[in-house]
Structure 1
């Protein structure tokens, strides 16, 4: 590395400056910060997604002589600004020792992306308890914004509650930032160390700060000693346990239980803003608050707040709740509220006595307040103790209260039958929010669902299935079951709710159920049973019942059935089982010549009849099903000497009320029942180990089938259906290999970087792999004939493994000729035994590339074929290099990122080389921004000089 040295004149100037500092009696601490806390807020421009307005708020020590009339702001795009202060206000009450300083500024970005808008203040205060040598470290905060045409207008989270509470030894310290988000994006909270950044380095680095955690930072509970005290929480204090300093990731409340060492502490946290788009949740913003906590011997006890439990409220209703604060010392209390809904919500003090201070929170909600995320109001109680000796310190308690606003339920939902369809009607919905959709759900049967104000939408376990959605302004919908028609004789129940548009989102309560029972009875499948198992001679018997018209009506001729079959695939491909229709009284079909060994089959039935006896009458159709055969799978588990059975089906009747019977045949013997098992509406499982007297044996051949016993609800009804026969052999599986990949010591190579041989053009990389045969699973086979080795590049964009080689030994060297990938590969190996069985895959072994980079200090572009181009002397695999060259006056003469290995010939597209002219001999300075081809995509910047001779 080439380090710049001060010139003789520069060293003399530095000595002079330091001498003046000594003569004036100043120390570095004289520039220590008066900043107590700060954060930055951002608001997007609705007319330009690239433009933002910002507000920086700094809380400063009113007793300090230092001042911040301007703020150094960096926009993360290579620009900065010195922003003048707009306001400086002396706060009142318990915060009367602090100023609130406000700075406003705007910025327009040139391109989409995420940007961290940051502020660098002066050095921190000396003698911070949790940051040693803090006087040499600056105050740094940022706010992240996203420039995206898909997010045309966004507000960052706003931290409404100033961070000015004082702490007392052996009492709980609480702070909640009172954050709110205008769009009701989801907010989360996370503690992080206080950070610092060099102002001068940021300016020299193209106005891009390089923040790092403050050196020596520890969280207060680790720096101050002490123990927990009694606290109602959350979290509830554990008396005399180790102290804690935590932040609730949902509410943002910071709790320190409890301080011990007196003094000042600097801490920070980040508020993250998440935007939901469809099923994706994306981080679109961050706000960092850095704040000071001063711990004193308070000579005072903190007040105690009581707030209501979190609630849900229907839009249009008014929330009216009382908040109470008491002070153990009987001191007066200042009770305030913070949050994004204040106003229009109000909080007024209703009584203030030595016993308690009470306030009334009141908010009349509207349809515009409906949101998926709750609104949070933070209440703060600060006591005002009288003067004493020593003077008591005002202390605070803070608690969040969350209010979720949901949409009202759709009203007066009615349903009526028209043929085999259901026609739904309802009143015009009360909240016609743009983009909202009415969602319609249906289930079989009718019940009364309980109403819970916090339960919006339709619960997943309610039995209702989604039918369709319509615009929120719609008032009717016809359900024909996707063209299949509803089944006569069944009862259907409908419920509706409204889903509101993002980003706020949210949903309404569900409507009351509207029920309908259709006249008559549809044709019902009763059997899809396997009679014979085979590839070409399998057989399935399908049976169904005749439909009834209801109300003493008759079906009009012609009437009959069409039966359709599909293999069980997704999506099914149904074809008629025969070209002629079934007669009305013909309700059985034997499906011969099916491959029942390798496939299950599913059937659907279409009943047809004329709408009337008049000539030209339209034909009415009604579909029943689908109904599938029972599909049985058997998986041998030789490690545990058992066979695991699973079965699945998709049928309109219910198989779950009675157990499934399992039958087994050993070798060429007869089938016998070996057990029963419970099953669900879609399938079940069974583990067969044999019996104590006759356990299963390794090498044995076993065949199985299962028998289901279903019903449509009648106690006397038994719908018996058989699966196909499934045969397996309980054979040993090969033992699993254990893979080892020889690694490279990158640190060792970096230490001897200057002694390494030059990296040749067309370099290849070799990965040495070896493996041994393990002993798992139990009873595994070690009769291995070959090994299959699989590989993939070790990149952030994970690709699938592919077969690299099949070998008989237990070693392999993989030679990689792709310099863009290098040695960064992952591998696993599979063993294959003499019977062709394969093992489970071994452990995955991965290797990463090093990050080595060394440039020569001289090259000779004289066209002699030797050293004509400047390229790294030593280099690990590189994805991209941005290379810039400057002459001794700082003028850029060359820039390119086209070649990862640079290969500069002394000319270039800029500066002196703009017309391909070679630069003159001399010393030039370069910067190389290198992105290595390692898994992390590490980026490093290298600076140095190179001499050109010819």
Structure 2
């Protein structure tokens, strides 16, 4: 049994005034002040974990007797426990000791694991923790092992979790967190923890004249302002994020000592920073730049000031770390210089946080001011971008990036120039410029990209950005623009003339090639027309041809324009030595095709098309039977509208006219094209809104209360609700019950467990069923509790040790009771236990005293039969000995 268990054992005994000879060993064993757990991932399932604790020490200057921990137990989160041997201890000023424990662990597979370290001895007299000396100290770190996320390491915390403050002065502390993988970090204040990582009961945050909080972005703990002298503990929750997904967290326990002093906090002044590269607290520079600037600090009490800096820039690169030194010092004033010769190796998405610290040397308490500066290192812009057009594609080329860690290049394109020039903090190409990412080239040495998804009639502009290992983009290249030569026909029209399944017709038109581009070809010329069903142009069939360069129209008859859209392409032929020769084929274009969706008292009209020109407006028409004409009901750039002026049970007919243009001059404008005409009977096909569900376990009464609702804006046609249930995760859901529309709650009394998952759906009178609600699961009731007092004295009262009250849903237990030397007194798998107080080996009654139990309770939970770990103490009392022989 470890010292941790033994000491807790004795504390309980002392509290009951039993076995008083052990009381001096632990009564004043004040100890843990602060701590944290971090880890490095060694391989897919193996991790090296480091536990750092800050404890009180006993020296001539620190006479209070304190406990020491040469070793600590660590719970790995997978139901295994190891003992870590202390690998380092450093005695610090003010009665602190920094302890370091390191160990490795290999997990069986992926999952979510909470690593926990507990210690029975938190230091005494913590003002905001009731009875702190007898309150267990706990810290934890949660890891997610997921092969899809890749390897992960916790943030590195560069500042110790112990600090000092003064009454009436704003206190600021920053953990100096740096993530070696470039992941994002967020921060929260949270209560300190006790046994099993639970928040300490009746814990309160330190009192403040204004507020105490943690900046979610910077990690600054700001206490504005301390009100009373004393020792206070707070915990900081540091969350780690990758691509918007939470991948881990650290709960760090921190101690702050507050003093009463006439001292005032020194003030850091960042206004001397050159704002060429950003602002006073946010700087963006190109990799390779030598960043250097001065900071100043003043102190109203004329105390001497020590300026220092810490944070990510000092650990980001072993080859060229940042440097900070204090350059001036006099009473009430200090100046320091930060410099960092950056390189491509430190380019990343996330900024580096530099913390500047000014600490005075007041003899009562040293106060600190803290300022954070964000430094973003951006990759250099791609150089020498060129765009060379061919008959129907454009080839881009550029120079290789100077950064050896570049993993590829992103290609961006838009029609017509943007004039975009990045500022110092703009990486990549912002969507506000109108550019879209159209391609990616992998590898630093691959310096060509061929863009084939283009058409005649437009000026295409490009920018290219280098990409770094974490996905960070460098600055955008200069903008280059070009267009395809006009040596091929250019499509202008694919317009439905008539709507019919058998006799529909479509008008196809184009602009002839530029005469100047035809010098190498000779007449006669012809155009061959091809058609493909759908929008993709993946199955063309020849449907006709037109002789002569100036004949640029064709009508395609007897096609089904009711059910299908069509895409057309033109092949352009010249003559060479009397033979017809294909000169080329321009981009294809599709017809405008619409479909209708019935909604509650409305019809949604949606259009689709695929054309090489730019459509800038759509007119929506609806048939009016009174005038026998189609009238405009909407004009918009959107590819859909909702016609709300309809009634269920009536038929409505629509078509759309599109208006488009090419960006280069010399083309007809506007390019007008019609969709087919389509009609639909308006009926109610809209389901009720998705219900919202909450499930609450009423443990004392053994039922789950299920409550649900539908938003007021769309619950008017709900006719009934159907509730579904499964007792286990990933189980098959069964209909639990169906309810009328006015019923919004149900009490469910499960048979074999309180755990379960529920969801509900809503139906309307027309049989439309809503989307299922979110699944809500509960698994919070436990009905198996053990007493801590037992009196086997033969009086017929409490002669057997058994669970408190009636228990439910327990299949079996593994119960072991030990004496203070770790010897087994009793074992059973019977949930009733029924220990009569006898030693299993001797058959005699055990002596009065305190015994330790470990019990695995196998209960029906959401995951099936699951073991719940219980541990605690049993105080055996007896008015007189029942047997002359004892263990």
TM-score (ref. length: structure 1)? 0.71
Q: Following superposition of structure 1 onto structure 2, how do residues 156-167 of structure 1 map, counting pairs within 5 Å?
A: 156-167=154-165
Matched, 1:498 2:466: yes
Q: Report the Cα offset of residue 711 of structure 1.
A: 2.7
Q: Following superposition of structure 1 onto structure 2, how do residues 254-333 of structure 1 map, counting pairs within 5 Å?
A: 254-276=221-243, 281-283=245-247, 285-307=248-270, 308-333=280-305
Q: Following superposition of structure 1 onto structure 2, how do residues 105-184 of structure 1 map, counting pairs within 5 Å?
A: 105-109=102-106, 111-113=108-110, 114-145=112-143, 155-184=153-182
Query: What is residue 677 of structure 1 aligned with on the other side?
Result: 635
Matched, 1:361 2:333: no
CA distance in 2, matches of 1:938, 1:672: 68
Q: Secondary structure at the match of 1:218?
A: coil
Q: Secondary structure at the match of 2:699?
A: helix
Q: Report the Cα offset of residue 81 of structure 1.
A: 1.9
Q: Secondary structure at the match of 1:288?
A: strand
**Deviations for 1:828-872, whole angstroms, at most 9, x for unmatched residues?**
242335xxx7476798897868957789xxxxxxxxxxxxxxxxx
CA distance in 1, matches of 2:119, 2:33: 11
Q: Report the Cα offset of residue 266 of structure 1.
A: 0.9
CA distance in 2, matches of 1:275, 1:146: 12
**Conserved? CA contact 2:594–2:676, under 8 Å:** yes
Query: What is residue 870 of structure 1 aligned with on the other side?
Result: none
Q: Report the Cα offset of residue 775 of structure 1.
A: 10
Q: Following superposition of structure 1 onto structure 2, how do residues 45-124 of structure 1 map, counting pairs within 5 Å?
A: 45=42, 50-52=46-48, 54=50, 56-58=52-54, 60=56, 63=62, 65=64, 66=66, 68=68, 70-76=70-76, 78-84=80-86, 86-90=88-92, 96-109=93-106, 111-113=108-110, 114-124=112-122
Q: Secondary structure at the match of 2:765?
A: strand
Q: Following superposition of structure 1 onto structure 2, how do residues 495-534 of structure 1 map, counting pairs within 5 Å?
A: 495-502=463-470, 505-520=471-486, 522-534=488-500
Q: Report the Cα offset of residue 129 of structure 1.
A: 2.5
Query: What is residue 858 of structure 2 aligned with on the other side?
Result: 929
Query: What is residue 399 of structure 1 aligned with on the other side?
Result: 371
CA distance in 2, matches of 1:378, 1:443: 41
Q: Secondary structure at the match of 2:349?
A: coil
Query: What is residue 214 of structure 1 aligned with on the other side?
Result: 200
Matched, 1:471 2:442: yes
Change (3 A) 1:304 1:615: farther
Q: Following superposition of structure 1 onto structure 2, how do residues 571-610 of structure 1 map, counting pairs within 5 Å?
A: 572=536, 574-578=538-542, 581-583=545-547, 585=549, 587-599=552-564, 601-609=565-573
Query: What is residue 383 of structure 1 aligned with on the other side?
Result: 360
Q: Secondary structure at the match of 2:542?
A: coil
Matched, 1:624 2:553: no
Query: What is residue 720 of structure 1 aligned with on the other side?
Result: 672
Change (3 A) 1:815 1:347: closer
Q: Following superposition of structure 1 onto structure 2, how do residues 782-797 of structure 1 map, counting pairs within 5 Å?
A: 791=724, 793=726
Q: Report the Cα offset of residue 162 of structure 1.
A: 2.3
CA distance in 2, matches of 1:706, 1:580: 27
**Conserved? CA contact 2:722–2:760, under 8 Å:** yes
**Deviations for 1:56-99, whole angstroms, at most 9, x for unmatched residues?**
25264673532535241314252322523523233xxxxx4253
CA distance in 2, matches of 1:634, 1:148: 41
**Conserved? CA contact 2:596–2:603, under 8 Å:** no
CA distance in 2, matches of 1:264, 1:770: 45
CA distance in 2, matches of 1:539, 1:132: 86
Q: Secondary structure at the match of 2:576?
A: coil
CA distance in 2, matches of 1:194, 1:575: 67
Q: Secondary structure at the match of 2:163?
A: coil
**Conserved? CA contact 1:929–1:941, under 8 Å:** no
Q: Report the Cα offset of residue 49 of structure 1.
A: 5.5
Matched, 1:335 2:293: no
Q: Following superposition of structure 1 onto structure 2, how do residues 396-435 of structure 1 map, counting pairs within 5 Å?
A: 396-433=368-405
**Conserved? CA contact 1:443–1:464, under 8 Å:** yes
Query: What is residue 845 of structure 2 aligned with on the other side?
Result: none
Match of 1:665 among 623, 643, 646: 623
Q: After the TM superposition, which of the residue ranges 465-474 and 492-501 deviates more from structure 2? A: 465-474
CA distance in 2, matches of 1:81, 1:520: 78
Query: What is residue 19 of structure 1 aligned with on the other side?
Result: 20
CA distance in 2, matches of 1:101, 1:593: 87
CA distance in 2, matches of 1:650, 1:801: 46
Query: What is residue 425 of structure 2 aligned with on the other side?
Result: 454
Q: After the TM superposition, which of the residue ranges 845-854 and 343-352 deviates more from structure 2? A: 845-854
CA distance in 1, matches of 2:480, 2:33: 60
Q: Report the Cα offset of residue 716 of structure 1.
A: 6.6
CA distance in 1, matches of 2:780, 2:476: 58
Q: Report the Cα offset of residue 679 of structure 1.
A: 1.7
Instruction: Provide structure 2 residue ranges, at least 5 long, that are not aligned to the other structure.
Output: 1-9, 271-279, 316-320, 786-805, 832-852, 873-887
**Conserved? CA contact 1:193–1:267, under 8 Å:** yes
Change (3 A) 1:12 1:380: closer
**Deviations for 1:726-751, whole angstroms, at most 9, x for unmatched residues?**
43556678996999999997524449
Q: Report the Cα offset of residue 302 of structure 1.
A: 0.7
**Conserved? CA contact 2:307–2:336, under 8 Å:** yes
Q: Report the Cα offset of residue 382 of structure 1.
A: 1.1
Q: Secondary structure at the match of 1:655?
A: strand
**Conserved? CA contact 1:816–1:822, under 8 Å:** no
Q: Report the Cα offset of residue 943 of structure 1.
A: 10
Q: Secondary structure at the match of 1:20?
A: helix
CA distance in 2, matches of 1:711, 1:462: 20
**Conserved? CA contact 1:314–1:406, under 8 Å:** yes
CA distance in 2, matches of 1:425, 1:111: 49
Change (3 A) 1:313 1:627: same
CA distance in 2, matches of 1:10, 1:306: 51
Change (3 A) 1:662 1:395: same
Aligned residues: 793
Q: Secondary structure at the match of 2:313?
A: coil
Q: Report the Cα offset of residue 396 of structure 1.
A: 0.9
Q: After the TM superposition, which of the residue ranges 347-356 and 54-63 deviates more from structure 2? A: 54-63
Query: What is residue 539 of structure 1 aligned with on the other side?
Result: 505
Q: Report the Cα offset of residue 181 of structure 1.
A: 2.2
**Conserved? CA contact 1:332–1:353, under 8 Å:** yes
CA distance in 1, matches of 2:163, 2:361: 13
Change (3 A) 1:649 1:406: same
Q: Secondary structure at the match of 1:86?
A: strand
Query: What is residue 916 of structure 1 aligned with on the other side?
Result: none
**Deviations for 1:563-585, whole angstroms, at most 9, x for unmatched residues?**
232235xxx46333435555455
Q: Report the Cα offset of residue 219 of structure 1.
A: 1.7
**Conserved? CA contact 1:178–1:339, under 8 Å:** yes
Query: What is residue 917 of structure 1 aligned with on the other side?
Result: none
Q: Report the Cα offset of residue 628 of structure 1.
A: 3.2
**Conserved? CA contact 1:739–1:845, under 8 Å:** no
Query: What is residue 615 of structure 2 aligned with on the other side?
Result: 655
CA distance in 1, matches of 2:444, 2:692: 65
CA distance in 1, matches of 2:558, 2:424: 57
**Deviations for 1:271-330, whole angstroms, at most 9, x for unmatched residues?**
233345xxx7351x4333211122222211111123432111111111111122111222
